[in-house]
Amino acid sequence: MPTLELVCKRLFADSSWFIKSIVGALLLVVPIAHFLAFGYLYGLIERARRGDSVILPEWGEWRRLFFDGIAAFVIFLVLGVVPLAIAWMFTLPLRLLAYGAFVYLPMVPAVLIVGPLVVAGIYQYQKREEYRDAFRLPVLGAMLRAARGRFVLPTLALIGFVLAGYPLMTFTVFVGWACSWTYYAASFRFIEETRRGGVKI
């Protein structure tokens, strides 16, 4: 059974993890080049989905990273940004009531679910590389329900890590996504293999 701690240890076992992460962080803030960063994250999900070694691979194969990154970014927008935007709109009426920080309560469920949801979409997309697979909400919902309880603490850890490292925002976001997205994908694979009876404990 994968754990966030185990995933992080394996990703950071390579002595060059910091340099690889810096490259991703820099690419993440450059328009168009950010597709390369998303392509790298796409590759991490793919490795976990296939059961390959959980490592930070070398940067390379830029053409593949770019096109994979476009797909990952589209899925990220639809399954990540759109739910957050909708949840944020629900906070607008509450602001008139001057409830302070409580006006953001409608965003809590969205914040907790968008990470696993985005990864579930990319996970399904990778099987046939068809966008319609990424947006089959009944399938994605079933994946999240099957993995319920596994994602709350890792997601809270990601939020805390990003907030704590706010001055280094793009670096913490890239590293946080690399860890959490790999963990989510490994968890989905674990659940699939468990149902097939193919998991080795």
Contact by Cβ (8 Å): 124, 133: yes
For 30, 39, 78, the CA distances from 137, given in Å and listed in that order, are: 31, 23, 12
Which range of 89-93, 110-114, 154-158 scores highest in mean pLDDT? It is 110-114
Helix 34-50 × helix 107-128 angle, to 10°: 70
Q: Name the one residue in this structure whose structure tokens are 């957050």.
A: 84
Asked if residue 198 has pLDDT above 60, the reply is no
Contact by Cβ (8 Å): 132, 194: no
What confidence tens digit (pLDDT) does each residue in 59-95 have? 999 999 999 999 999 999 999 999 999 998 888 877 7
Report which of residues 129 and 94 the model is more confident about: 129
- Residue 62: helix, strand or coil by DSSP? helix
What confidence tens digit (pLDDT) does each residue in 6-53 have? 999 999 998 899 999 999 999 999 999 999 999 999 999 999 999 888
For 11, 39, 71, 80, the CA distances from 159, given in Å and listed in that order, are: 19, 22, 24, 15
> Quick one: the chain helix, strand, coil %, rounded to 5?
80, 0, 20
Average pLDDT over residues 83-111: 81
By the 10 Å C-beta count (0-12 exposed, 13-18 middle, 19+ buried), 182 is classed as buried
Q: Report H helices in 4-95.
A: 4-11, 17-28, 34-50, 62-76, 82-95
- Closest CA relative to residue 24, chosen from 7, 42, 10: 42
